[in-house]
Structure 1
Amino acid sequence: MIQQIYPAPDHPYEFELNKDMHFAAAHFIPHVEAGSCQEVHGHTYFANITIGGDQLDDSGFLINFQHIKNLIHKRFDHTLINQDELFSSESNREFPTTEVVAKVMWEIIQSHLDSLPHRPRCLQVFLRETPTSYVIYRPKGRQA
């Protein structure tokens, strides 16, 4: 994998973990202003997940890299994202745009992290849809 530089979130944590992954998926945006993106089409997405925390688990991990891959790659790779229960054709806040997919990925990961006793935080999701287009999702006011 090519080494990449990502915009780094500002945070107070002692540890910062980053997990990179690719997944191939199709989607469509069910809105007239989406133009040709209204048609089903696919991307090889690239995601970088940033997690921060001060405490490590009993294994010495902030979180095991494999857990992040299982949460995201297994769920989205080789799928039609529109069919996932977390997306909808009824509300623009639930269309599978890159912005919304990045936010949903954050929600999936943070939900898992909230179940861990040492409470790490997902600081950002960097999601590249094409070689020239990407989104960064950073939750407002949720770091602590």
Structure 2
Amino acid sequence: MMQQIYPSVAHPFRYELNKDFQFAAAHYVPSELAGKCSRVHGHTYFVNLTIAGNELDQTGFLVDFSAVKKLIHDRFDHTLLNEHAAFFSDEDPARFPTTEIVAKTIGELIQAYLDQTENKPKCVQVFLRETPTSYVVYRPFAGGAYDR
């Protein structure tokens, strides 16, 4: 895993957890406008999740590191992202598996999991590196719209 300093996100919470992990996956962007990216190709995606909250759970964790990693890694590692029809579509440009949409999808999956926990922390940032020189930062609560 490459050591990285990630952009930080301002938030009103007491605790902040960051989790790094990676997964290998292939994808293509189903548009002629995507150039070479319209052909099937693969990446080793590097992910950094920033999760924040005010309350710890009954074990003293904000969230279990391994649970959030498994949620994404076990689902997407060594797969063709386009085949995950619940998340991505070859017909709808808003659901093409671009790095931006993959980062948003990761954020939504993580938040759905967090919403089921007792202490309900928030996923405040997803940093997704697709190549050594390209990454996306997705912030689900841009503008500070935290509901807790």
Per the shorter chain, which TM-score range? over 0.9
Distance apart, 1:56 and its partner CA:
0.4
Per the alignment, residue 127 of structure 1 pairs with 128
Task: Please state if 1:64 is matched with 2:58.
Answer: no
Per the alignment, residue 100 of structure 1 pairs with 101
1:9 aligned counterpart, secondary structure:
coil
Q: Deviations over 1:50-108 (max 9, x none)?
A: 00001000011000000011111001100000001210011111000000000000000
2:94 aligned counterpart, secondary structure:
coil
Name the aligned partner's letter for residue 36 of structure 1: K
Q: How does 1:79-118 map to 2 (within 5 A)?
A: 79-84=79-84, 85-118=86-119
TM-score (norm 2): 0.94
2:89 aligned counterpart, secondary structure:
coil
Partner Cα distance (2:121, 2:16) in 1: 10
Distance apart, 1:142 and its partner CA:
4.0
Computed over aligned residues only, the root mean square deviation of the Cα atoms, in angstroms, reads 0.9
Distance apart, 1:2 and its partner CA:
3.3
Partner Cα distance (2:112, 2:145) in 1: 13
Q: How does 1:7-46 map to 2 (within 5 A)?
A: 7-46=7-46
Distance apart, 1:117 and its partner CA:
1.7
**Percent sequence identity over matched residues?**
58
Name the aligned partner's letter for residue 133 of structure 2: T
The runs of 5 or more residues in structure 1 that have no matched partner are none
The runs of 5 or more residues in structure 2 that have no matched partner are none
1:61 aligned counterpart, secondary structure:
coil
Partner Cα distance (1:96, 1:107) in 2: 14
TM-score (norm 1): 0.97
The number of equivalent residue pairs is 144
